[in-house]
């Protein structure tokens, strides 16, 4: 379902000035909050009229006042290619579950506006209001994403997520084989300064509690890697990537998080990795929840890609490498 969109229609970003930004100039406001663009790039946008203050042209040096309304009218741009097809896993009058491909973001952000799972699902169903995603997966993560088709379903499932009543299981491929068959990572996750984006989620003692339970499904000694089943007790941003890196077993192909749970330092001349960069193998495999209308248990599964299957699943039989 769905095709890529070469060029979108542009987008308008709106900011209402809060007390902590009062007194800043228009230019400083954008530099501090959106560091992915240079100060010179923001200056050019302001001078060209793409940025307006209270619906009027402004200058880079104009001071801001609490309650001011800034708008940035971003011109249409060509979005990065993304695998915009999705598979339907479950559907009724209240909920939709789809299989998101790796490489497709769930929500708009950065360079992606039309090439998102949200846009594709709403284009397919064309309902008013459109289906609303009840949780997120990282751009590089594949697997189950649940959407609400009614406000009552949205409120019910959102509350169950908040109260940790919903069970989520993932599969991933990590570096190393020197680990117990089962282990738990219990390390806080929070924001740390990160120049390319202003901040980044990482392991930090000042963060919020986060807990991840892991079970090895298969050791691959000749490749020095292991297939892991992960159950999230909490649901912090990039939790699996961070926690397995903290455990000394970062995800194979993850360009951002190194062993220890902090961002990798780029080599001289290389671009710093960003949270949306892909290349790792992570799949939302199972989702278990109570149906908001019927009260019955719903257990959804999404078959993992070949790289995240056990030898038994691939061959149809058990092998000595499988871990029970």
Give the CATH number of the domain where residue 36 resides.
3.10.290.10
Residue 190 and residue 228 in one domain: yes
Domain contains 319? no
Q: Which domain holds residue 298?
A: 87-311
Q: For all residues of the chain together, what is the average pLDDT? A: 90
Is the confidence at residue 265, as pLDDT, over 90?
A: no
Residue 46 and residue 168 in one domain: no
Long-range CB contact pairs, 104-108, < 8 A, 24+ = 104/139, 105/139, 105/276, 106/133, 106/136, 106/137, 106/139, 106/145, 107/133, 107/136, 108/11
Domain contains 170? yes
Residue 223 and residue 288 in one domain: yes
Residue 321's pLDDT band (cuts 50, 70, 90): very low
Is the confidence at residue 181, as pLDDT, over 70?
A: yes
14-48 pLDDT tens trace? 999 999 999 999 999 999 888 778 899 999 999 99
| Domain boundary, last residue among 74, 95, 120 | 74
Higher pLDDT, 8 or 162: 162
Domain contains 316? no
Give the CATH number of the domain where residue 224 resides.
3.30.2350.10
Of 147-151, 160-164, 177-181, 220-224, which range is least confident?
A: 220-224
Is the confidence at residue 315, as pLDDT, over 50?
A: yes
Is the confidence at residue 180, as pLDDT, over 50?
A: yes
Q: What is the pLDDT of residue 262?
A: 85
> Counting runs of H as helices and runs of E as strands, what totals does the chain give?
6, 16
d(CA 209, CA 186): 7
Domain contains 149? yes
Residue 70 and residue 104 in one domain: no
Of 7-21, 27-41, 187-201, 258-272, which range is least confident?
A: 258-272
Residue 41 and residue 95 in one domain: no
Domain contains 91? yes
Q: What is the pLDDT of residue 324?
A: 27
Residue 66 and residue 104 in one domain: no
Residue 49 and residue 100 in one domain: no
Residue 96 and residue 170 in one domain: yes
The total number of structural domains that make up the chain: 2
Domain contains 1? no
| Domain boundary, last residue among 23, 49, 74 | 74
Residue 28 and residue 125 in one domain: no
Residue 185 and residue 60 in one domain: no
86-114 pLDDT tens trace? 999 999 999 999 999 999 999 887 777 77
Residue 10's pLDDT band (cuts 50, 70, 90): confident
Domain contains 4? no
Domain contains 182? yes
Is the confidence at residue 157, as pLDDT, over 90?
A: yes
CA distances from 8 to 50, 219, 275 (A): 17, 45, 23
Q: What percent of the chain has pLDDT over 90?
A: 68
Residue 65 and residue 137 in one domain: no
Residue 139 and residue 68 in one domain: no
């Amino acid at each position: 379902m769905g095709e890529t969109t070469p060029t979108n229609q542009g987008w308008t970003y709106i900011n209402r000035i809060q007390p902590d930004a009062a007194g800043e100039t228009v230019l400083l406001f954008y530099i501090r909050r959106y560091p992915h663009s240079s100060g010179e790039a923001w200056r050019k946008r302001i001078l060209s009229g793409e940025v307006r203050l209270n619906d009027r042209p402004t200058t880079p040096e104009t001071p801001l006042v609490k309650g001011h309304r800034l708008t940035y009218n971003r011109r249409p741009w060509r979005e990065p290619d993304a695998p915009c097809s999705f598979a339907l896993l479950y559907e009724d009058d209240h909920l939709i579950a789809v299989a998101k491909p790796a490489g497709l973001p769930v929500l708009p952000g950065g360079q992606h506006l039309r090439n998102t799972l949200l846009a594709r699902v709403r284009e397919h169903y064309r309902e008013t209001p459109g289906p609303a995603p009840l949780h997120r997966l990282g751009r590089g993560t594949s697997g189950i994403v649940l959407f609400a088709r009614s406000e009552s379903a949205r409120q019910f499932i959102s509350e169950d997520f908040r109260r940790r009543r919903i069970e989520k299981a993932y599969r991933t491929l990590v570096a190393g084989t020197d680990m117990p068959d089962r282990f738990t990572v219990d390390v806080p996750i929070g924001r740390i300064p990160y120049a390319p984006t202003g901040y980044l989620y990482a392991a930090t003692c000042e963060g919020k509690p986060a807990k991840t339970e892991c079970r090895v499904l298969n050791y691959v000694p000749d490749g020095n890697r292991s297939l892991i089943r992960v159950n999230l007790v909490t649901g912090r941003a990039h939790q699996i990537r961070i926690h397995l890196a903290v455990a000394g077993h970062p995800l194979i192909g993850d360009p951002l998080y190194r062993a220890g749970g902090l961002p990798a330092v780029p080599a001289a001349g290389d671009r710093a990795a960003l949270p949306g960069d892909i290349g790792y193998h992570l799949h939302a495999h199972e989702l278990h929840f109570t149906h908001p209308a019927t009260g019955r248990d719903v257990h959804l599964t999404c078959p993992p890609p070949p790289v995240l299957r056990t030898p038994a699943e691939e061959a149809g039989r058990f092998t000595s490498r499988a871990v029970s």
